[in-house]
């Protein structure tokens, strides 16, 4: 029997990517993609009604408040979407025996580590966005046992607004960019993350819990920018800067360990460079 899968926040970059690749999984999965105007996850009654009226085997929550800097001033809004609404979703999943697949972030860590963060390392978010995402995780952990919390990092895709697309567009239009050299992490393609989500669903994985999913390797924002500039043969157009003024503090090191995902999937994730190449090609030729 096909699994029935609800995707919330379907108009975000991850939601759009899942939708784009969903055709390949049509034999195994029946998808419903709902964007904010169709299901607002902050409306508890709407959620309860939707779960009562529909059979849902898996709920993939791609809905989130993701503006890290604005979250410093719109803290209540970030908390409402990233924490309170996640409590509503997890309660509905519990009541209807639905597996929740929820996205979280490397920003639940403070960045003081020098080695890749593992799933059970202590969390200590240093900005409002990270605090709201961590509270969302806690709600899931206290309401539900059938969940996957997938912490990922530096997400990008050919859709919506993200670092890779911004750098690509600026370089393409002849601009120069100053990019920070002092934050280390791993850019992760929405396509790679979507394939991992599909793996969990199609294999009906029962090893619930927290997973760290990112591409292979670690780098800095500057080196990602330089990599994209090399694609345009414009390396001198990216200028290194050790400081970048922003409202929110960001962890200086937020590399995630992929060991748990590798032992589950028996596969290494793609190198970040290879996945960036794929998105650059699709931005160029689509
Ligand atoms: N982007 C990153 O670098 C990054 C890094 C690590 C983890 N993550 C996590 O990965 C997940 C996916 O991120 P993303 O980059 O795909 O985010 P995104 O592109 O910003 O998409 C989020 C989507 O959620 C929708 N949304 C907001 N409030 C909602 C509500 N109340 N009800 C229903 N939908 C709502 C947004 O709609 P509107 O645009 O109409 O508000 C948007 O379409 C998130 O959980 C995020 O925290 C992201």
Transcribe 210-277 into DSSP letters. EEE---BS-EEHHHHHHHHHHHTT-GGGEEEES----SS---SB-PBP-HHHHHHHSSPPPBHHHHHH
Does residue 60 lie in a domain region? Answer: yes
Does residue 68 lie in a domain region? Answer: yes
Does residue 168 lie in a domain region? Answer: no
Domain tally, the chain = 1
Q: Is 41 in the pocket of ligand 1 (CB under 6 A)?
A: yes
Q: Is 144 in the pocket of ligand 1 (CB under 6 A)?
A: no
CA of 81 relative to ligand 1 center, distance in Å: 9
CB 3 within 8 A of CB 204: yes
Residues catalogued as catalytic: 129
Query: What's 260's domain CATH number?
Result: 3.40.50.720
Nearest CA to ligand 1 atom 18: 12
Q: Is 19 in the pocket of ligand 1 (CB under 6 A)?
A: no
Continuous segment of H or E residues that includes residue 136:
helix 128-143
Determine the structural domain holding residue 205 and report its residue range.
3-161+188-216+256-271
Residue-level pLDDT at 176:
96
Residue-level pLDDT at 197:
98
CA of 132 relative to ligand 1 center, distance in Å: 13
User: What is the residue-wise DSSP string for 181-212?
Assistant: SS-EE--EEHHHHHHHHHHHHHTT----EEEE
Closest CA to 219 of 248, 250, 166, 183: 183
Alpha carbon distances (Å) from 189 to 94, 177, 209, 212, 269:
30, 22, 22, 14, 11
Q: Is 149 in the pocket of ligand 1 (CB under 6 A)?
A: no
Q: Is 81 in the pocket of ligand 1 (CB under 6 A)?
A: yes
CA of 134 relative to ligand 1 center, distance in Å: 15
Exposure of 206 by Cβ count < 10 A (0-12 exposed, 13-18 middle, 19+ buried)?
Answer: exposed
Torsional sign, CA 118, 59, 15, 130: negative
Residue-level pLDDT at 286:
72
Q: Which atom of ligand 1 is nearest to the CA of 63?
A: 24
CA distance 204 to 217: 28
Does residue 242 lie in a domain region? Answer: no
Does residue 226 lie in a domain region? Answer: no
Does residue 227 lie in a domain region? Answer: no
pLDDT digits (tens), the chain, 286 positions? 899 999 999 999 999 999 999 999 999 999 999 999 999 999 999 999 999 999 999 999 999 999 999 999 999 999 999 999 999 999 999 999 999 999 999 999 999 999 999 999 999 999 999 999 999 999 999 999 999 999 999 999 999 999 999 999 999 999 999 999 999 999 999 999 999 999 999 999 999 999 999 999 999 999 999 999 999 999 999 999 998 889 999 999 999 999 999 999 999 999 999 999 999 999 988 7
CA of 187 relative to ligand 1 center, distance in Å: 16
CB 259 within 8 A of CB 267: no
Does residue 209 lie in a domain region? Answer: yes
Closest CA to 255 of 227, 223, 215, 226: 215
Q: Is 98 in the pocket of ligand 1 (CB under 6 A)?
A: no
Does residue 243 lie in a domain region? Answer: no
Residue-level pLDDT at 275:
98
CA of 126 relative to ligand 1 center, distance in Å: 20
Residue-level pLDDT at 15:
98
């Amino acid at each position: 029997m096909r699994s029935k899968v609800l995707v919330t926040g379907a108009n975000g970059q991850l939601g759009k990517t899942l939708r784009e690749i969903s055709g390949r999984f049509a034999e195994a999965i029946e998808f419903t993609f709902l964007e904010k105007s169709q299901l607002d996850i902050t409306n508890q009654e709407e959620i309860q009604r939707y779960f009562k009226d529909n059979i849902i085997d898996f709920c993939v929550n791609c809905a989130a408040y993701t503006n890290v800097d604005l979250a410093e001033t719109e803290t209540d809004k970030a908390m409402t979407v990233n924490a309170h609404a996640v409590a509503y979703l997890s309660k509905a999943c519990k009541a209807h025996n639905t597996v929740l697949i929820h996205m979280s972030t490397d920003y639940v860590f403070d960045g003081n580590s020098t080695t890749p963060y593992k799933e059970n390392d202590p969390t200590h978010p240093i900005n409002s966005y990270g605090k709201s995402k961590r509270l969302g995780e806690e709600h899931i952990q206290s309401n539900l046992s059938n969940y996957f919390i997938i912490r990922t990092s530096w997400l990008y895709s050919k859709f919506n607004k993200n670092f890779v697309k911004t750098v690509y567009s600026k370089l393409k239009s002849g601009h120069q960019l100053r990019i920070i050299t002092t934050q280390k992490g791993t850019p992760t393609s929405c396509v790679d993350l979507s394939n991992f989500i599909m793996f969990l669903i199609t294999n009906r994985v029962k090893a619930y819990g927290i997973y760290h999913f990112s591409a292979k390797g670690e780098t800095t924002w500057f080196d990602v920018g330089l990599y994209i500039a090399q694609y345009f043969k414009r390396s001198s157009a990216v200028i290194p800067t050790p400081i970048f003024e922003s409202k929110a503090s960001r962890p200086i090191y937020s590399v995630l360990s992929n060991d748990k995902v590798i032992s589950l999937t028996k596969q290494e994730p793609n190198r970040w460079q290879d996945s960036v190449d794929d998105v650059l090609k699709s931005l160029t030729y689509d």
